[in-house]
């Protein structure tokens, strides 16, 4: 197996992990949190801690590879397309 194919499979695995598996994990973990139990516990806490708990409960996942303007995808795209264009194999 050549390195271009390995790089393509690695890129696909990273994209599946970043855009499918991690958001599903966030949703599953959030589904198991009981909001009423959370509210009951929050009444006993300081207001700053309450704000942090609410932010943690309503957190939206931001894909790791899109941070920095998506430079990761641009670099991988250049790597994969550049190697296929200049490859001598038919």
* 45-54 pLDDT, tens digit each: 788 877 887 7
Are 79 and 6 within 8 A, CB to CB?
no
Helices within the chain (DSSP H only): 3-16, 22-32, 35-42, 47-57, 71-85
Q: What is the pTM of this model?
A: 0.68
Report domain extents, the chain.
3-85
Range 26-31, long-range pairs (CB < 8 A, 24+ positions):
26/59, 26/61, 30/57
Residue with tokens 């390195």, as numbered in its chain: 3
Confidence of residue 19 (pLDDT cuts 50, 70, 90): very high
């Amino acid at each position: 197996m050549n390195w271009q194919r390995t790089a393509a499979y690695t890129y696909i695995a990273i994209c599946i992990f970043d855009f499918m598996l991690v958001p599903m994990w966030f949703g599953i973990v959030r589904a198991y949190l009981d909001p009423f139990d959370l509210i009951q516990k929050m009444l006993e806490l300081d207001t700053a801690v309450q704000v942090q708990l609410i932010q943690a409960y309503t957190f939206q996942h931001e894909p790791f590879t899109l941070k920095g303007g998506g430079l990761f995808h641009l670099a991988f795209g250049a790597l994969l397309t550049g190697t296929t264009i200049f490859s001598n194999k038919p």
